[in-house]
């Protein structure tokens, strides 16, 4: 579990000022991986009721730009954030309940960037989203 001190250090390391909203946002994202902006806002306000939604959005963007958090947005859902960055992992999304879980890159880093230069595009990242059913929804469907 990240302590506030660790969070502050992480912010300073990327050259960001340490402010209450930012610390709270980063802590919230760390504690609730794959949370959307609304959830982050709610969680942040639990410990810091006065923050504006604007500050939360701004913090999320700033942190995402700095590479401290990552923003993902599967089809049909609002933006979600997570603190696990830089390790090329992907996501499984439940078609039924929208639950998201992390999946380590299964086919190796090389394969993830295959298809480079198709159509002349210069590709620098491959994002993989697996779609299916989470254990709970899967069980609910097979035993109605």
Partner DNA sequence: CTCTTCTTTTGACTGATTCAAGAAAAGGAG
Partner DNA sequence: CTCCTTTTCTTGAATCAGTCAAAAGAAGAG
Q: To the nearest whole angstrom, how small is the minimum distance from the Cβ of residue 121 to DNA?
A: 24
Burial of 105 (0-12, 13-18, 19+ CB in 10 A): middle
Q: CA 132 to CA 95: how far, in whole Å?
A: 6
> Of these partners, a copy of itself, DNA, none, which one is at the site of residue 135 (CB under 5 to 8 Å by kind)?
a copy of itself
Which of the choices a copy of itself, DNA, none does residue 6 contact, using the CB cut-off of 5 to 8 A by kind?
none
Q: Does 48 bind a copy of itself (CB under 8 A)?
A: no
Q: Which does 61 bind (CB under 5 to 8 A by kind): a copy of itself, DNA, none?
A: DNA
Q: How far apart are CA 68 and CA 72, in angstroms?
A: 13
- Distance, in Å, from the CA atom of 139 to the CA atom of 136, rounded to the nearest integer, reads 5
Count Cα neighbours of 9 within 13 Å in the Cβ-side half-sphere: 5
Residue range at the interface with a copy of itself (CB under 8 A); choices 2-10, 34-42, 47-55, 109-117:
109-117
Q: List contacts with DNA (CB under 7 A).
A: 12, 16-22, 36-38, 50-55, 57-59, 61-62, 73, 78-79
């Amino acid at each position: 579990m990240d302590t506030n001190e660790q969070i502050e250090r992480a912010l300073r390391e990327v050259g960001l000022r340490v402010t209450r909203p930012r610390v709270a946002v980063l802590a919230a994202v760390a504690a609730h991986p794959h949370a959307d902006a609304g959830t982050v806002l709610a969680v942040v306000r639990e410990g810091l009721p006065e923050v504006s939604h604007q500050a939360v959005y701004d913090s999320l963007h700033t942190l995402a730009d700095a590479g401290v958090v990552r923003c993902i947005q599967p089809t049909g859902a609002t933006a979600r954030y997570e603190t696990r960055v830089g390790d090329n992992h992907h996501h499984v999304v439940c078609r039924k309940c929208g639950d998201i879980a992390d999946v380590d890159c299964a086919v190796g880093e090389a394969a993830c960037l295959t298809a480079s230069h198709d159509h002349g595009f210069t590709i620098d990242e491959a994002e993989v989203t697996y779609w299916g059913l989470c254990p709970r929804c899967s069980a609910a469907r097979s035993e109605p």
